[in-house]
Chain A
Amino acid sequence: MVDQTGGAPMISVDIRKALGTFELNVQFQAPAGVTAVFGRSGTGKTSVIRAIAGLDRPDMGRIEIAGRVLFDQDINLPPHRRGIGVVFQDARLFPHLSVARNLTYGGRHDHDRIVELLGLGPLLTRYPAHLSGGEAQRVALGRALMSNPRILLLDEPLAALDATRKADVLPYLERLRDTVDVPMIYVSHAVSEVARLATTLVVLDAGHVVQSGPLEDVLSDPKSMRIVGVRDAGAVINAKVERHDDGDGLSVLAFDGGMISMPKVDRPVGTRMRLRVPAQDVILARLRPQQISARNVVAVRVTELDHGRGTGVAVGLRAGKTPLLARITKASLREMDLAVGDEIFAILKATAAAPENIGQGRG
């Protein structure tokens, strides 16, 4: 679904707006698919969504979606004429209308399929007061989609849900991404959601875009660690299920640059999957390690070193065509005497990709 044929990008955003203490100054372009706008709270993510939806007017700039100018110095379409679906963090279902009438408020586009896709059938006669947070969010998704939007904006749709509810809704979002042909802008401060859903990543900090590009490139960029945080930083790799080893309860996945084995994944051989490899879980070695318990040793080349302010160093790596990211201490860096261009080995622990980080890759 990613438009890589050139030509005009699906989404082209240039927003400038004075916002109290800081200035929002955001420019990015993105192809179709899921564009995640990532940043900590208070970095202006929601302001971006509101400007695109027409709920707030930027001071200056230009917003163009699918070849249609929604805002520039002469044009400012009102929200109801923008053809944009918005899913708000707090669902915002109409309390006086049943689920069925909430869903069709903006139209009946693809009604039956969306009800089926989001599992809304059993909820139709209920009222919003009697829905759980996750159910309400699914209804809000369905309602936005039935208005047949040119693009769907999701403003931290999972942030108000607890971990269990999140896990309930995430698979629906993935299904939408893979089956409904509507580009999405997904605002989030959770790396795990972004890593599962996004194709393009735009990283915001203090109202400015600090990085943007294909998800794999941005998340494996050592500089991303400063924004994403040490704990959450880590590359995303696209792999394919190569074989299952039932005796050991392991699955082997292949990616461009090596193999990775991990606890059995319940997917048929050949399935494309997206794995997250947290930078903290990558160990580096000068020589190919032998007789160690870790099973995943990959030959890599050092592409970048980024010295953070703390004790750690972010190390950009490349295995084949796949970028990886590791975090080591400054002491280790000194002892190993690493430099850009060095050919070394990375040990990815077999448990490196935790189950919630196993997403279905896009093929």
Chain B
Amino acid sequence: MIWSVVFLSLKVAVTATVFALPLAIWVAFVLARKTFWGKGLLDALVHFPLVLPPVVTGYGLLLVFGKQGVIGAALFDWFGATLAFRWTGAALAAAIMGFPLMVRAIRLAIEGVDQGLEEAASTLGASRARVFATVTLPLIWHGIIAGGVLGFAKALGEFGATITFAASIPGQTQTIPSAIYALLQVPGQEQAVWGLVAVSVVLALGAVGLSEWLTRRAVRR
């Protein structure tokens, strides 16, 4: 039972990170570099999940992505897809909760890039896309790793929004935190709880270790 929970949690967290990260890079870039009307609004919107009670975010997801929700209904009509109470819903909740952490870390890195280097690259004949891929991206790599790890850890541990939007259905949407919570409601399950706690610690340490290693590799020259 433990391993199916762990596997599901990893699936949810990896999916959330993989889909959210590219979007987070784009949003971070826009927030760091562009000036446009409504920038403050976008900034606030991105940070909302960080400051709202997670349960409220989960409820908001239900309203928007539930079967009656604006987007949820459309998804169901066009693709026959539902998110609420599915593992994909858990991934969506995890992605949205981790998103502000990713954006913050990456934005900080982008703001630290010397734009003079990008200018230099453009005078050497590099198009905007090439400048981004060959100069900006390598220089913000540490921020992307940090943001990815933070988002991944957040996704693994997300509880409030996930349980509100995707519930805690064993084998379908029951991730490590909701499993621990469920087990604690029943006396005599301490062993299983300790097992999940141990896995959580190992995963968290592993993620931090991996990010350290990646960062060092990127910085070494």
Q: Which residues of A contact B (CB under 8 A)?
A: 53-55, 78-86, 88, 90, 92, 94-96, 98, 105-107, 127, 129, 143-144, 147
A161 and B121 CA atoms in complex are apart in Å by: 23
Which listed residue (B116, B125, B139, B221) contacts A107, Cβ 8 A? Answer: B125
**Residues A129 and B221 in contact in the complex (CB < 8 Å), given A92-B117, A92-B119, A94-B121:** yes
Is B189 interfacial (CB 8 A cutoff)?
A: no
A54 and B124 CA atoms in complex are apart in Å by: 12
- Some 24 contacts from A to B, beta carbons below 8 A apart, are A55-B119, A78-B122, A80-B124, A80-B128, A83-B125, A85-B124, A86-B120, A88-B119, A92-B114, A94-B117, A94-B120, A94-B121, A94-B135, A96-B138, A96-B139, A105-B121, A105-B134, A106-B125, A106-B126, A107-B125, A127-B221, A129-B221, A147-B123, A147-B125
A107: min CB distance to chain B, Å: 7
**Residues A80 and B126 in contact in the complex (CB < 8 Å), given A96-B138, A127-B221, A129-B221:** yes
**Residues A85 and B117 in contact in the complex (CB < 8 Å), given A96-B138, A127-B221, A129-B221:** no
**Residues A79 and B135 in contact in the complex (CB < 8 Å), given A105-B126, A106-B124, A129-B221:** no
B126: min CB distance to chain A, Å: 6
In the complex, per-residue mask of B51-81: 1 if CB is within 8 Å of any chain A CB, else 0: 0000000000000000000000000000000
Is B127 interfacial (CB 8 A cutoff)?
A: yes
| Chain B residues positioned under 8 Å from A84 (CB to CB) | 123
A106 and B120 CA atoms in complex are apart in Å by: 10
B38: min CB distance to chain A, Å: 25
A95 and B139 CA atoms in complex are apart in Å by: 8
With A90-B116, A96-B138, A106-B124 given, name 7 new contacts (CB 8 A): A79-B123, A80-B124, A80-B128, A81-B125, A88-B119, A92-B120, A98-B221
| Chain B residues positioned under 8 Å from A92 (CB to CB) | 114, 116-117, 119-120
| Chain A residues positioned under 8 Å from B138 (CB to CB) | 96
Quick one: closest A residue to B120, CB to CB? A92
Which listed residue (B116, B119, B139, B221) contacts A79, Cβ 8 A? Answer: B119
Q: Which residues of B contact A (CB under 8 A)?
A: 114, 116-117, 119-128, 134-135, 138-139, 221
Check A55–B123 contact: CB distance below 8 A: yes
B161: min CB distance to chain A, Å: 37
Check A80–B127 contact: CB distance below 8 A: yes
Q: Which 7 pairs across A and B sit closest by C-beta, in order of nearness?
A: A106-B124, A92-B120, A79-B122, A86-B123, A127-B221, A96-B138, A147-B124
Quick one: closest A residue to B124, CB to CB? A106
| Chain A residues positioned under 8 Å from B116 (CB to CB) | 88, 90, 92
A55 and B117 CA atoms in complex are apart in Å by: 12
Check B119–A144 contact: CB distance below 8 A: no
A268: min CB distance to chain B, Å: 39
A69 and B119 CA atoms in complex are apart in Å by: 21
| Chain B residues positioned under 8 Å from A105 (CB to CB) | 121, 124, 126, 134
Which listed residue (B117, B122, B221) contacts A80, Cβ 8 A? Answer: B122
Quick one: closest B residue to A104, CB to CB? B124
Check B122–A88 contact: CB distance below 8 A: no
| Chain A residues positioned under 8 Å from B117 (CB to CB) | 92, 94-95
Quick one: closest B residue to A148, CB to CB? B125
Which listed residue (B114, B121, B123) contacts A53, Cβ 8 A? Answer: B123
Quick one: closest B residue to A91, CB to CB? B120
| Chain B residues positioned under 8 Å from A95 (CB to CB) | 117, 139, 221
A92 and B122 CA atoms in complex are apart in Å by: 12
| Chain B residues positioned under 8 Å from A88 (CB to CB) | 116, 119-120
| Chain A residues positioned under 8 Å from B125 (CB to CB) | 80-81, 83, 106-107, 147
A127 and B138 CA atoms in complex are apart in Å by: 15
A53 and B123 CA atoms in complex are apart in Å by: 7
A81 and B127 CA atoms in complex are apart in Å by: 8
Check B122–A144 contact: CB distance below 8 A: no
| Chain A residues positioned under 8 Å from B121 (CB to CB) | 94, 105
| Chain A residues positioned under 8 Å from B128 (CB to CB) | 80
A108: min CB distance to chain B, Å: 12
A95 and B125 CA atoms in complex are apart in Å by: 18
| Chain A residues positioned under 8 Å from B119 (CB to CB) | 55, 79, 88, 92
A122 and B71 CA atoms in complex are apart in Å by: 61
A67: min CB distance to chain B, Å: 20
| Chain B residues positioned under 8 Å from A85 (CB to CB) | 123-124
A70: min CB distance to chain B, Å: 12
| Chain A residues positioned under 8 Å from B120 (CB to CB) | 86, 88, 92, 94
A95 and B116 CA atoms in complex are apart in Å by: 12
| Chain A residues positioned under 8 Å from B123 (CB to CB) | 53-55, 79-80, 82, 84-86, 106, 144, 147
Check A143–B124 contact: CB distance below 8 A: yes
A88 and B120 CA atoms in complex are apart in Å by: 8
| Chain A residues positioned under 8 Å from B122 (CB to CB) | 54-55, 78-80
| Chain B residues positioned under 8 Å from A78 (CB to CB) | 122
Quick one: closest A residue to B116, CB to CB? A92
